[in-house]
Chain A
Amino acid sequence: AQSVTQLGSHVSVSEGALVLLRCNYSSSVPPYLFWYVQYPNQGLQLLLKYTTGATLVKGINGFEAEFKKSETSFHLTKPSAHMSDAAEYFCAVSDDNQGGKLIFGQGTELSVKP
């Protein structure tokens, strides 16, 4: 069975600092990996996804993530945090056997201090 673990339910960074949100997954077949973001009172919005090919994936708003099969990780990074990045971030996994069903991690709330 697939599973996702996000390390840290709350992460706080200073404006301009590096953002690193951790995601580890478990899957018996090649996974598809996603990062979604939820701003207050809004729905989940796709930041980026890994399907196949290049392991470094670039997304919207300056975020990127690297798929590391050997470490079963898909950590999300951004070189310089902005106040507008404050939100909750969700890592999710799927594969070709799930009919599109997403398995989510617990979510990480990102706070950005001025």
Chain B
Amino acid sequence: EAGVTQFPSHSVIEKGQTVTLRCDPISGHDNLYWYRRVMGKEIKFLLHFVKESKQDESGMPNNRFLAERTGGTYSTLKVQPAELEDSGVYFCASSQTIRQGWETQYFGPGTRLLVL
């Protein structure tokens, strides 16, 4: 069974440009999470989808970030326009249907974003 995949693995863009990150969760997983790790800091929650609905987007930094999950399958996270402080590693994770705190989340390898 394929794990969580993320594309691209690396992205280098200039300040003010737009970048779109993609996450493909494990097939059949209703829950999809985005997290971010800024260099030297802890991994922080961004948002949570249940199928195509945003369940919790309390961690989104500002309105330059837009996440979508059309059809409840893959998800995209768009940053527009990108700022220097957006640099970091963006992780996606998925879990099955039970939205309980003990459920295991399966993580992708992350997208390393560098904004110059």
Contact = CB atoms under 8 A, between A and B. Distances in A.
A67 B66 CA distance: 38
B64 interface: no
Interface in B64-116: 91, 93, 95, 99-110
A49 to B, nearest CB: 7
Interface in B42-61: 42-45, 48, 55-56, 59
B48 A43 contact: no
Interface residues of A, number: 28
Given A90-B43, A100-B95, A104-B44, A43 B107 contact: yes
A39 to B, nearest CB: 10
B48 A100 contact: yes
A17 interface: no
A95 interface: yes
A100 to B, nearest CB: 6
Interface string A30-55: 00100010000111111001011000
Interface string A72-103: 00000000000000000010101111111111
A46 B104 contact: yes
Given A42-B109, A43-B108, A43-B109, A100 B103 contact: yes
Given A42-B109, A99-B48, 7 more contacts: A36-B107, A49-B102, A96-B101, A97-B101, A101-B45, A107-B42, A107-B43
14 contacts: A42-B109, A44-B93, A46-B104, A46-B105, A92-B43, A95-B101, A98-B101, A99-B101, A100-B105, A102-B45, A104-B35, A104-B42, A106-B42, A107-B43
